[in-house]
Amino acid sequence: MSDVVIAKPEIEEVEPTRTRRAFVAAAAAAGLCYAGAMGYPIYRYLASPAEMAANESAVVEVTLKGAQTLAPASALMFKFGSSPAMLIHGADDSWVAFSAVCTHLGCTVQFEPQMNRIHCACHGGVYDTHTGKNVSGPPPKPLTAYKVNVDVDGIVVSRT
Amino acid sequence: MTGSIYNWVDERLGLTEAIAFARHKRVPVHAQSFWYYWGGISLFLFLIQVFTGILLLVYYRPGSEAFESVRQITYVMHFGWLIRSAHSWSANLFMFAVLVHMFSVYFMKAYRKPREVGWLTGIALLFLGALFGFSGYLLPMDELSYFATKVGLQIPASIPLLGPFTATILRGGPDVSEFTVQRFFALHVVILPLLFLPLLGLHLWLVQKHGNASPESELAKPLAKRRSVPFFPNFLQKDLAMWLISLNVLALLASVFPWDLGKQADSLTPAPVGIHPEWYFMAPFHMLKILGSFLPGESGEVIGILLFTVGLALWVLIPFYDSENVAGTRGRVAHYFGIFAVTALLLTTALGYWGVR
């Protein structure tokens, strides 16, 4: 009998804090649900172009029709997926293709036949025209090289 | 930790004063208290408009690419249809909430001294809201928005002397074109917000300053018999609950009834059948139409616009006619005028929809 009397006030003291805690937890959970339900579509909406670019860069091969007529000691700029790339027809009749994105800070590089180099105007990076190796200046890595296949009616550039 | 952060902010921004002010502010409780929520609901829907509008701005391109960019938003970008749908639906819900807010203020006589400026800024915000609606409606440049804008601009064009000039300037040429979209875009996202936001600030400040108005029935009671609750936290809680309900209604409408995108506007294609203005423009359009059938020709349109302007002026200036907080003839006349206005608006809207059916 006396046990019951002691237990009663204890329950009454615990109960309000418990329900309040449960309410706060439920409200927080509901709030998170709302934030998620709104945040997810907004994130996907804003990320759409990035996703499209990612799909584009999944490209493994680009065919450049008529590119085999490119004069020696000149370059052709083209898009490999979503990023710029260059096809170089060397003075020695060699064919190479590189990503045209400077490995330093992402500027587009250019082929300079008179200097026989690939040059980045942003910070003076220089790459080798045959291998794409970083020769001087700030670039930390060589340009990504692609495989080139010369055909009768075009040139096929593909990932190595 | 929390305490020291609170103290840091409080010392610099005065949180304690703000909370004391909010606690001190009281909101009357009576049979008509429900109508107090509609200003807050309008504000919430406006915030949704700002938010979804900024998201649409990420991909929208005005000018000749307008339709293509809205097509892209609707069909290419993930959830673009949902964001566009939410923007369109909340625009309509906003106009609805604002109208409910206005009529409840009118019938509660909340425009009376010293709240005249609150009434006037509210009316100005309603007009800006309607202009937001009108300019935003054109932006997708589909068939419906193209013809609705063409017809809508005939109203300012029919005002004598200045009308044709004004309409041409608004359109950016003799006809609705990509120039029209470009300048409506500037209106919709720059000019109107620049006008709307300071007015909204003043409107909200006045609500803080004067508090909620009580209807005549409450003012008749002795002070001790009037009930009220503190704004913070009691009323704010209910306000936020209303916001949550509004959000749920909006989410339901926007996702279950996605906003349509018609065919690209083409001036050589005949206008589609059943073309009609947005519901909040239906009443004025139909009133002009009715007057036009009584008084055919240009004179009819001019007299129509004149009559409409007089009615509108009476409505706007009501606080200066019915200014005293006492029951009297003027109050009764204002009340009947209100009932007449609501009846006329509902009737002409219904007739307008009956006509396009």
Q: Looking at residue A150, which CATH number applies to its domain?
A: 2.102.10.10
Share of chain B above pLDDT 90, in %: 67
Q: Do A108 and A151 sit in the same domain of this protein?
A: yes
Express each pLDDT in B235-287 by its tens digit: 999 999 999 999 999 999 999 999 999 999 988 888 888 788 899 999 988 88
A152 inside 8 A of chain B by CB: no
From the list B139, B135, B146, the residue with the least C-alpha distance to B271 is: B146
Q: Do A31 and A70 sit in the same domain of this protein?
A: no
pLDDT at A4 over 70: no
Looking at A30, A56, A82, the residue that finishes a domain is A56
Task: Check A45 against B76: CB less than 8 A apart.
Answer: no
Choose between B140 and B226: higher pLDDT: B140
Task: Check B78 against A42: CB less than 8 A apart.
Answer: no
Mean of pLDDT over chain B: 92
Q: Which residue of B has its CA nearest to A52?
A: B77
Its domain, for residue A49, covers: 1-56
Total domains in the fold of chain A? 2
Q: Which structural domains are found in chain B, ordered by start?
A: 31-271 (1.20.810.10), 276-357 (no CATH)
Kindly provide the residue ranges of all beta strands, DSSP E only, lying in chain B, ordered along the sequence. 26-29, 227-230
ipTM of the complex, rounded to two decimals: 0.88
Q: Considering only A94-98, B14-18, B335-339, which range has the smallest mean pLDDT?
A: B14-18
Q: Which residues of B touch A26 (CB under 8 A)?
A: none
The phi and psi torsions of A102 (rounded to 5 degrees) equal -60, 135
- Other CB atoms within 10 A of residue A41 CB: 19
pLDDT at B1 over 80: no
Q: Which residue has the tokens 């309040």?
A: A20
Q: Do A50 and A66 sit in the same domain of this protein?
A: no
> Under a CB-based contact definition with an 8 Å cutoff, are residues B182 and B141 in contact?
no
Q: Do A21 and A43 sit in the same domain of this protein?
A: yes
Q: Which residues of A touch B79 (CB under 8 A)?
A: 41-42, 44-45
**Which of B80, B247, B251 faces A45 most closely, judged by CB atoms?**
B80
Secondary structure string (H, E, C) spanning A105-134: CCCECEEECCCCEEEECCCCEEECCCCCCE
Looking at A12, A31, A56, the residue that finishes a domain is A56
pLDDT at B190 over 50: yes
Share of chain A above pLDDT 90, in %: 73
pLDDT at B28 over 80: yes
The DSSP letter of residue B235 is I
Express each pLDDT in B101-124 by its tens digit: 999 999 999 999 999 999 999 999
A44 inside 8 A of chain B by CB: yes
Task: Check B83 against A42: CB less than 8 A apart.
Answer: yes
From the list A58, A49, A125, A138, the residue with the least C-alpha distance to B80 is: A49
Q: Do A49 and A83 sit in the same domain of this protein?
A: no
Q: Collect contacts of A144-148 with beta carbons under 8 A, ≥24 apart.
A: A144/A98, A144/A99, A145/A96, A145/A97, A145/A98, A146/A80, A146/A85, A146/A97, A146/A98, A146/A99, A147/A97, A148/A87, A148/A95, A148/A96, A148/A97
Q: Do A143 and A76 sit in the same domain of this protein?
A: yes
From the list A62, A138, A78, A61, the residue with the least C-alpha distance to A102 is: A138
Output the pLDDT for position B99: 97
Q: Do A46 and A66 sit in the same domain of this protein?
A: no
B72 inside 8 A of chain A by CB: no
Q: Do A42 and A102 sit in the same domain of this protein?
A: no
Q: Do A84 and A44 sit in the same domain of this protein?
A: no
Distance in Å, alpha carbon of B79 to nearest chain A alpha carbon: 6
> Under a CB-based contact definition with an 8 Å cutoff, are residues B285 and B352 in contact?
yes
Distance in Å, alpha carbon of A22 to nearest chain B alpha carbon: 18
A45 inside 8 A of chain B by CB: yes
Q: Do A65 and A52 sit in the same domain of this protein?
A: no
Q: How far is it, in rounded angstroms, from Cα B150 to Cα B172?
A: 12
Q: How far is it, in rounded angstroms, from Cα B122 to Cα B315?
A: 12
Q: Do A77 and A122 sit in the same domain of this protein?
A: yes
Kindly provide the residue ranges of all beta strands, DSSP E only, lying in B119-267, ordered along the sequence. 227-230
A48 inside 8 A of chain B by CB: yes
Distance in Å, alpha carbon of A44 to nearest chain B alpha carbon: 6
Q: Do A70 and A45 sit in the same domain of this protein?
A: no
Amino acid at site B172 = G
> Under a CB-based contact definition with an 8 Å cutoff, are residues A160 and A153 in contact?
no
**Which of B77, B82, B247 faces A48 most closely, judged by CB atoms?**
B77
